[in-house]
Every structure is written in C-alpha cells, then in structure tokens.
C-alpha cells in the first residue's frame, strides 16, 4: 500500500484539480442564464438529487436558504409519490446527477415540464436525458473519481457541491446580504452568538461607588459584588474610573500601612478607562479587551447618555461560548 500521507495529498489534489477544470469548462452563457433564473425566482428554489447527489443537493439547499435564497430539498422519489405538490409556479428546480440518467429524476421530468418550472441541471454527462431536458446545463463532469475503483462518487460530488456553493455565494453577494441579515438565519452556535450577542446580554448591573469612598469601602464593594472590580461613578451617574483587584493591590503596596487611612477611590482608580456600550456586540468588546499590549479583564459599560450602567467581564464572554 502506498504511503497513506502521500495518498491523501494526492487525492486532495485530484479533487482540487477537478474543480479547476470545471471552472474552465463552464461557459458564460450557461452560468449567466442559471444566475438569472435563480436571481429572478419569486418563489423558491427546489434542489433534487438521489443517493450521494441527494446529500449534496441537501447541502446546497441549506446553503442557499441560510444566505438569503429560500430553497428546499425534495427527493425525486417522494415527489413522484405526492411531494410534487411543493413544486409550484414560480419555482426554479436545480437537479443534480452525475450520469444524467438517474431513474427517479428522469421519471420526474415530465411532471416538471407540465408545471413549466425552469430546470437547471448540474450534470456530469452533458449528452444525457437530464441535460437534454434542462433549460440550463452546468457541466460538472470529471475525468476520474477519487475512488481507487473509479466507482464511488467522490470527485464528481465535490465538483457539484463547489458549483452549488459558487451559485449561492454569488447570489448572496448580488443581494447585498449584510452580517446582520446572515445572523438572523444563524442565531445559534458560536457564529450566531458572534453576530447577535450584545454587551447588554452579558453585563452585570453596575457595581458602583463614589470617588470619595475610602479604601475599606472599596474593598468591601469589590467583595460584595464579586466581579473583580467596581466602577467609580460621579453623583450624576457618569463614569469617573474603575478600581480593579489589581489597582487595589498596587495602591496598597505603594502606600504602605501608614498611608491607607486617607486613600480614596479616586486616588486608587484608573481614570478614563476603556468602556463598552450596551448595544456593542460582545465579540467587539472581546476584541477591545484582547487586542491591546496589555489585556484587560473587565469593561465598564456606559450608555448613550453617558451614564455608567454595567460591568462586563472577560469571564462572562468566555462562559457564553463566544
């Protein structure tokens, strides 16, 4: 047996090369027509396929939907037994088949023709029944599968997937999808949290003391709120500074026992600290904390009126799974 590492690299390059050749084979008229059909679709995109091509079709449908184009996967067998009802006027159908002769898809073609829905074929055989019946043919043919027997769909499904992804991403760009639009379809997981979770979702109510509080009151406040810091707030509610555990230790070390009696929060605090706003994305606040010569672990939160309203800890961001 060949060296496994070398074999893996060889097969990766084989599939990458197949995608490059597919890009060279696609003609402008076919791509432009396909993009015109899906761009102008005023209903939904139906993606169909059987077997491994069916799995790829499902992925393409999910990618389209998550990036602003409503799409669903319909199995051709299910369509022949009643699910055809979901395909309606105004839809566009994308059919995947390497051979172009998949029985279930060929059997479905007359019904699609009766519904007068445009058909885009991503097909490995451009001289096939599916290709001849399609309104647009996108050539996804490959010279060789990655399978050592040249049987298992591998390179062919990779090329079909790449073409589907290219269609979806081109649509996404042409429609001007924003990060906010994308986040609306991805509310869960780390990606969704990065695009939607705000500082206000994670911050604690402001642990506040006045500038004239003595050092013992500062210690008591830090212990009471258990956040590792307290905000120093003026009488009008505006932020004057912040006292962290580190500020407290450094001030005590610098002052010595004899100098503690007269210490105030104003003398101990870091004045004019970096702040976050309640509406700031938590991910952006994380960058404020980390992308600096000396990292910080807490941020005072100040609203649009200049009032100190909270405290955000690095610990809370990490615990959120962001």
Q: Residue 301 pairs with which residues in a beta bridge?
A: 276, 310
Question: What tokens does 14 get?
Answer: 């084989």
* CB-based contact 38:171 (threshold 8 Å): yes
Model's pTM, two decimal places?
Answer: 0.71
Burial class (CB in 10 A: 0-12, 13-18, 19+), 8: exposed
* 185: in domain: no
* 183: in domain: no
Based on the domain organization, do 264 and 142 belong to the same domain? no
What span, in angstroms and rounded, lies between the C-alpha atoms of 103 and 100?
A: 9
For the domain that residue 50 is a member of, what is the CATH number?
3.40.50.10490
Query: How far is CA 211 from each of CA 34, 235, 238, rounded to the nearest angstrom?
Result: 67, 9, 11
Helices within the chain (DSSP H only): 4-25, 28-39, 52-66, 76-80, 103-114, 129-133, 155-174, 179-184, 189-196, 199-202, 215-225, 245-255, 265-268, 282-290, 314-319
For the domain that residue 255 is a member of, what is the CATH number?
3.10.580.10
Q: What is the pLDDT of residue 107?
A: 97
What span, in angstroms and rounded, lies between the C-alpha atoms of 242 and 231?
A: 5
Band of residue 145 on the pLDDT scale cut at 50, 70, 90: very high
* 182: in domain: no
Based on the domain organization, do 143 and 245 belong to the same domain? no
**Lowest mean pLDDT, pick from 43-47, 61-65, 178-182:** 178-182
What span, in angstroms and rounded, lies between the C-alpha atoms of 43 and 207?
A: 53
Domain hosting 99: range is: 4-177
Based on the domain organization, do 24 and 159 belong to the same domain? yes
Tell me how far the alpha carbon of residue 175 is from its chain's centroid: 17
Q: Is the pLDDT at 1 greater than 70, yes or no?
A: no
Range 78-87 average pLDDT: 94
In terms of average pLDDT, the best of 108-117, 193-202, 240-249 is: 108-117
What span, in angstroms and rounded, lies between the C-alpha atoms of 211 and 35?
A: 63
How many domains does the chain fold into? 2
* CB-based contact 206:231 (threshold 8 Å): yes
What span, in angstroms and rounded, lies between the C-alpha atoms of 162 and 72?
A: 18
Q: pLDDT by residue (tens digit) across 164-187?
A: 999 999 999 998 888 777 777 777
For all residues of the chain together, what is the average pLDDT?
Answer: 92
């Amino acid at each position: 047996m060949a060296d496994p590492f070398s074999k893996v690299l060889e097969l990766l390059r084989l599939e990458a090369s197949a995608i490059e050749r597919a890009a060279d084979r696609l003609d402008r008229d076919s791509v432009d027509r396909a993009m015109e059909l899906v761009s102008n679709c005023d209903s939904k995109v139906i993606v169909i396929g059987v077997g491994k091509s069916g799995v790829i079709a499902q992925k393409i449908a999910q990618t389209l939907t998550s990036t602003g184009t409503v799409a669903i996967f319909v199995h051709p067998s299910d369509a022949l037994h009643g699910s055809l009802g979901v395909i309606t006027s105004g839809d566009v159908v994308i059919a995947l088949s390497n051979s172009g002769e998949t029985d279930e898809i060929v059997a479905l073609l007359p019904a699609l023709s009766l519904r007068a829905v445009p058909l885009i074929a991503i097909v490995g055989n451009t001289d096939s029944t599916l290709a001849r019946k399609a309104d647009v043919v996108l050539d996804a043919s490959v010279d060789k599968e990655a399978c050592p027997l040249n049987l298992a769909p591998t390179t062919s499904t990779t090329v079909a997937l790449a073409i589907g992804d290219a269609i979806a991403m081109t649509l996404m760009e042409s429609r001007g999808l924003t990060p906010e639009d994308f986040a609306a379809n991805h509310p869960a997981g780390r990606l969704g949290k990065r695009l939607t979770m705000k500082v206000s979702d994670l911050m604690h109510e402001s642990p506040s003391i006045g500038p004239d509080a003595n050092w013992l009151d500062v210690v008591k406040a830090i212990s009471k709120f258990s956040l590792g810091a307290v905000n120093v707030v003026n009488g009008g509610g505006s932020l004057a500074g912040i006292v962290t555990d580190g500020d407290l230790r450094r001030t005590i070390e610098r002052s010595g026992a004899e100098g503690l009696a007269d210490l105030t929060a104003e003398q101990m605090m870091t004045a004019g600290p970096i702040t976050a706003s309640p509406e700031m994305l938590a991910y952006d606040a994380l960058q404020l904390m980390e992308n600096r010569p000396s990292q910080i672990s807490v941020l005072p939160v100040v609203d649009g009126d200049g009032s100190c309203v909270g405290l955000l800890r690095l610990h809370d961001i990490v615990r959120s799974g962001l």
